[in-house]
Amino acid sequence: MTVDQRLRWSMTAALVATTLLAATAYLAPNTSSFAHWFAIAHFLTGIVFAGLIGVYLVVHFRRVVGVRRPGLVLSGLAGTVVAIGLVFTGGFLGTSGNTSANAAVYLAHVACGLVFVGLVVLHLVQHIVGLPERRRTSTGIHSFAALRRRLLLPSAAVGLTGLAAFGLVAAFTESSPSAHFSSSPTVGTYDYSAYGEHPFRPSQTETANGDFVKPESLGNSASCGSCHETIVRQWQSSAHRYAAADPAYVTNINLLEHNKGIAATRYCEGCHAPVALLAGQLTEGGEHGGTPGTTAFDEGVSCMTCHGIDQVVHTKGVASYRYAGRSRYPGETLGESFGFLTELAIMLKPELHREELNRELHERSSFCATCHSQFMDESMNGWGWVRMQDEFGAWQASHYAGTTQADHAVETVTGCRDCHMPLTEAPEDPAADDGMVRSHHFAAANTMLALAFDEQEQLERIRRFLKQAKMHITIDAPQERDSEQSRFALDERVRDRVNTPWYYYLGESVDVNVVVTNTGVGHDFPGGTIDINEAWISFEVFDAQGRAIYTSGSLDADLYVDPDAVFYRSIPVDRWGKEVWRHDLFNMVGETYRRVVKAGASDVVTYGFEIPGWAQSPLQMTATLKYRKLNRRYSTWALAHTPMDIPVIDMARATETVPLRIEPSAGELLNVRAGSSLERR
């Protein structure tokens, strides 16, 4: 048998095998890892085929140079061109991924495969039909029977054998999401005495089968960066990543553990440290997420703890989600050395990965409600059910949700991710749609975390977010009821068409209205933990010489806000009527104060002061809406081990200049009016 003939047999066997494997991978259910194994097998046999056909074409062309059979030559050349396209597109998909952005390449690869098989059949038929009798030999392909005997049947046998072998591999390694679960917690003896038989109470968390989750299946977010580098880099600076390492959270979770035991920390950890909760760490002998060096501490809300959720249990919050995880991919159980198989499987056949980890559920605002809404019940406070933060409910009641009166509802819904996860460019990311992905910076209002972990770019990103004119503040122009249009006579027809001038008299007591309007926040302002967040109005009045006439909301030397300022916040109280100022919400039974600005609404604040006789005209009034992530009293306590001066952000500002006048005496007014009467005569 010649070299040409041996190469022809091997190449045909590889072609039959890779074709059968491709068809099986395509037909296998996307929810099965069978598809992954057959796609890998197709790719590997495709590499073998590419090497064989490369050598075969060189040998074959050298042998048939000078053949004068135009049709045969033409089909051979066409097959060569298509084979090059087939190999190139296959290699591209194996390295860049079968993503939506590469859909055209995938279609080209399939088309090249079908056309190539057709051209090979045509080429063989032309060869057999047109071969002269004198050139037919007992060892060559001289008839359809010889073709079947020497090439097709052996190649089909090899292909089917390979298919069966890979089928057995896939069957023995077939893995559903249950492979990531465990009936036992990571800590030997788990405490069910405090909150009943449910393993995660008082958190509202569920798992798909009621079991715990293996910790290695929840962490390791960095591995996602091998494909989603931009998204993981964004997440690494986000509040989600630092949710458990937050120094204020560490103080509070330690306080909760000290007062009520580690089992009580399940209430918080479902949102701040899901790895610790789901793995079964939150029991005597375990470590909560506020413990440095643990996976829960380092990853906070990891990639899988969000993307592994398949159901919203309810929208009242306290981690009210169901975790389902994902299937195990080829190579995962074989160690790091075989990690390339996992990446290759996802690259070649991403449907299962996309279906399990990028659910339609993740696009809904109700998904965010699982952690961005909160309540406390008797099991925690020993009192009763209390509503706490509720961004979802506030959004749902706003015009952004499109659920207000039907004849006034907006046509398009603006959800949580439209503000907090805007589209950003990442053309290289496999998840990109038209070169765009949802930002995983999760920019909102937590300047403290960005400062604590020296995430300067994130801090600047949050500054810009808070200054996007989502809140407006205005000062109502003063209206003097007895102000005069002019001291000169005016025609009656134009008198009421002249704007009444506005000014203040020296010595006058005035009231000034400042209006704060929520024009762009999709929920109440402020949001989140408004008992410890600090939003307030700074109102200042100075004369032309820069002398203060009235101030409210200024900072003192120790950076405390004027206690008489107008604050937007809540004041929770315990059962004895004392303020719960340490954010120890397990003591909370209600609120004594709550002032917020609802989405699309305004709040009017009236300031009263007297214009001193020494004031120089004009007055300058400035109203500023200010925000600081944590109030000074709480931050001094909670951040005692990591003290910092949390920046104050000016979210909105308004300035008005008002002239001053000396109020005329009664005699002067009578003289002016008399003069006006004579002038009219």
H, E, C per residue of 572-637: EECCCCCECCCCCHHHCCEEEEECCECCCCEEEEEEEEECCCCCCCCEEEEEEEEEECCCHHHHHH
CA gap 452, 302 in Å, rounded = 19
246 vs 476, more confident? 246
pLDDT at 497 (0 to 100)? 47
Q: Please identify which residue in the block is written with the tokens 């109030």.
A: 631
pLDDT at 498 (0 to 100)? 46
Check pLDDT > 60 for residue 513.
Answer: yes
Tell me what percent of the residues of the chain surpass a pLDDT of 70. Answer: 83
For 149, the token pair is 């005997």
Average pLDDT over residues 489-511: 70
CA gap 84, 78 in Å, rounded = 10
Check pLDDT > 80 for residue 413.
Answer: yes
CA gap 25, 36 in Å, rounded = 7
Confidence grade of residue 525 (pLDDT, cut at 50, 70, 90): very high
CA gap 616, 446 in Å, rounded = 42
Check pLDDT > 70 for residue 410.
Answer: no
For 8, 46, 253, the CA distances from 27, given in Å and listed in that order, are 28, 18, 51
Check pLDDT > 60 for residue 135.
Answer: no
Average pLDDT over residues 93-120: 89
Q: What count of other Cβ atoms lies within 10 Å of the Cβ of residue 670?
A: 11
pLDDT at 417 (0 to 100)? 94
Least confident of 20-34, 444-458, 472-486: 472-486
Q: Is 285 strand, coil or helix?
A: coil
Least confident of 52-56, 152-156, 318-322: 152-156
408 vs 81, more confident? 81
Q: What is the pLDDT of residues 264-303, one digit of tens each?
A: 999 999 999 999 999 999 999 999 999 999 999 999 999 9
CA gap 284, 262 in Å, rounded = 7
Average pLDDT over residues 458-475: 96
Confidence grade of residue 102 (pLDDT, cut at 50, 70, 90): confident
Average pLDDT over residues 487-502: 56
Confidence grade of residue 667 (pLDDT, cut at 50, 70, 90): low
CA gap 329, 217 in Å, rounded = 12
pLDDT at 4 (0 to 100)? 64
pLDDT at 501 (0 to 100)? 63
Task: Count the residues in the chain.
Answer: 681
Check pLDDT > 60 for residue 64.
Answer: yes
Check pLDDT > 90 for residue 121.
Answer: no
Instruction: Pick the closest to residue 587 from 577, 596, 601 (CA basis).
Output: 577
For 292, the token pair is 């440095």
What's this model's pTM, rounded to 2 decimal places?
Answer: 0.84
Check pLDDT > 90 for residue 640.
Answer: yes
Confidence grade of residue 100 (pLDDT, cut at 50, 70, 90): confident
CA gap 548, 228 in Å, rounded = 55
For 246, 503, 534, the CA distances from 552, given in Å and listed in that order, are 32, 22, 15
pLDDT at 28 (0 to 100)? 79
* CA 422 to chain CA centroid, nearest Å: 9
Is the peptide bond between 618 and the residue preceding it cis, with omega within 30 degrees of 0?
Answer: yes
Q: What is the pLDDT of residues 527-566, one digit of tens each?
A: 999 999 999 999 999 999 999 999 999 999 999 999 999 9
pLDDT at 26 (0 to 100)? 83
For 140, 144, 152, 328, 439, the CA distances from 149, given in Å and listed in that order, are 11, 8, 7, 42, 59
Q: Which of 28-37, 218-227, 326-335, 437-446 has the highest mean pLDDT?
A: 437-446
Confidence grade of residue 176 (pLDDT, cut at 50, 70, 90): low
Average pLDDT, the chain: 86
Confidence grade of residue 678 (pLDDT, cut at 50, 70, 90): very low
Instruction: Pick the closest to residue 213 from 205, 221, 204, 222 (CA basis).
Output: 205
Q: Set out the domains of the chain in order of their start, with CATH numbers.
A: 3-174 (no CATH), 179-328+364-389 (no CATH), 464-666 (2.60.40.10)
pLDDT at 86 (0 to 100)? 93
Instruction: Pick the closest to residue 544 from 616, 622, 623, 621 (CA basis).
Output: 616
Average pLDDT over residues 295-319: 96
Confidence grade of residue 149 (pLDDT, cut at 50, 70, 90): low
Q: What is the pLDDT of residues 348-362, one digit of tens each?
A: 888 889 888 999 999
Check pLDDT > 70 for residue 635.
Answer: yes
CA gap 501, 478 in Å, rounded = 9
CA gap 420, 72 in Å, rounded = 62
For 299, the token pair is 């990853």
Confidence grade of residue 332 (pLDDT, cut at 50, 70, 90): confident
Residue type, 59: V
Give the bridge partners for 376, in sequence order. Answer: 386
Q: Please identify which residue in the block is written with the tokens 């079908």.
A: 114
Check pLDDT > 80 for residue 320.
Answer: yes
Q: Please identify which residue in the block is written with the tokens 């296998």.
A: 28
Check pLDDT > 80 for residue 191.
Answer: yes
pLDDT at 680 (0 to 100)? 45
pLDDT at 679 (0 to 100)? 47
Q: Which residues contact 166 (CB under 8 A, 6 or more apart)?
A: 21, 37, 38, 41
Check pLDDT > 80 for residue 217.
Answer: yes
Least confident of 9-23, 168-182, 408-422, 548-562: 168-182
Check pLDDT > 70 for residue 681.
Answer: no
Q: What is the pLDDT of residues 367-393, one digit of tens each?
A: 999 999 999 999 999 999 999 999 999
For 247, the token pair is 């120094």
pLDDT at 211 (0 to 100)? 93
CA gap 122, 128 in Å, rounded = 10
Q: Which of 323-327, 559-563, 677-681 has the highest mean pLDDT?
A: 559-563
605 vs 502, more confident? 605
Check pLDDT > 90 for residue 18.
Answer: no
- Decide the pairing of beta strands 590-594 and 570-573: antiparallel
pLDDT at 136 (0 to 100)? 55
